[in-house]
Amino acid sequence: MLRSIFHSGQRRCAVVGATFAAWCALQSPLRVVAQEESQAGSRDSRELFSPATDASINSGLNWLAGQQQSDGSFGVVTRYRSNPGVVGLCGLAFLSSGSTPGRGPYGEQLRKAVDFVISCSRPSGYIVEEDWKYYHGPMYGHGFATLFLAEVYGMDPRDEVRDALDRAVQLIIESQNDQGGWRYTPESREADISVTVCLVMALRAARNAGIAVPKETIDRCVAYIESSQNPDGGFRYRLLEAAESRFPRSAAALVALYTSGVHEGPIIEQGLQYVMDFVPGDAASRNQEYYFYGQYYAAQAVWHAGGDRWQVWYTHARDELILLQLREGRWSDPWIGDEYATAMALIVLQIPNGYLPIFER
């Protein structure tokens, strides 16, 4: 990975079954059962909240709201100022609290964030900032921005939201390369696990919102991710590089498989065993360059796994994130920016709320 990694309300769209075909069963009786089970799981997980958790979340949301620029963007670090991916992540943090565009304590921030992301949408579908050619890895920003628009669409069904989302999804589908994944730009002929995960998450969210995504696209992506697993259960960065496993990208790979309909089997089990070796609490783990990226995906992976793994992970992650929070309510990341770090931390802490469709089991 490189330093470019940055990583409803009431709408519910559950993924059921063991394959991507299950995405199409949106109105089946199984979906109703899945909804009820997921809602029950969210209620149970809310019990993991404490007064300190609520205070931490409220402080973080208030700090983040105060950082929004007049045009709806976020970010002061030069390299990521006004990056639509960072804006999308900040928007997801507000959605995770239960606010929706124009409604709730952070409704105005969400409305402005949506408008900013739409303003970054090019005719080709690419969601990039004005000077995007000077930035490294713009497909990351495109992926997180597309994910945000997809999560918003059910709550803000404006034509301009739908149009930007449609174009963004089509660009992702058409730019999938021969390896079955994606890399830093739409024209890349090779893939890496991190960009691929970012974009398949956006496709899953878009499919939940009613945007057509070919089954073949997901099948090829799943095959690429599965082929990237190492014997230790972790995942390598690229197929042609040394088979080195790393925690952040391994957690991300698991999330991509879960959200693509792969819920069980040796690959999932071995991957979970690898990830659970990195339960938060070790001071050394906090110094990782990709700390917030890793926590963002690991929390989602164990949320999908459920049971004791989720209980253990969330409890440790919650306590560690509260410990790392600075007095004014922010979290800090020297490479991408404090807005990014705060958004990631808030998304993790608020998973038990169950407001984001991407966190459906």
12 part of a folded domain:
no
CATH number for the domain including 196? 1.50.10.20
Structural domain boundaries enclosing 198:
20-359
pLDDT at residue 72 in the model: 97
11 domain residue, yes or no? no
Render pLDDT for 202-226 as a digit per residue (tens, 0 to 9). 999 999 999 999 999 999 999 999 9
In a domain, 292, yes or no: yes
Top-confidence range, 82-86, 154-158, 287-291: 82-86
Q: Which of 32-46, 175-189, 248-262, 295-309 has the lowest mean pLDDT?
A: 32-46
Model confidence at 359, pLDDT cuts 50, 70, 90, reads confident
pTM over 0.85: yes
- pLDDT tens digits for 282-330? 655 666 779 999 999 999 999 999 999 999 999 999 999 999 999 999 9
Long-range contacts of residues 287-291, Cβ cutoff 8 Å, at least 24 apart: 288/247, 288/248, 289/3, 289/335, 290/1, 290/5, 290/248, 291/333
Number of structural domains found in the chain: 1
CB 143 within 8 A of CB 201: yes
The confidence band for 61, taking pLDDT boundaries of 50, 70 and 90, is very high
Q: Is residue 1 part of a domain?
A: no
The answer to the question of residue 9 being in a domain is no
Domain presence at residue 99: yes
Q: What is the mean pLDDT of the chain?
A: 86
pLDDT > 50? residue 347 = yes
CA 4 to chain CA centroid, Å, is 15
Distance CA 252, CA 27 (A): 29
For residue 236, is it within any domain?
yes
Residue 5 is assigned to a structural domain of this protein: no
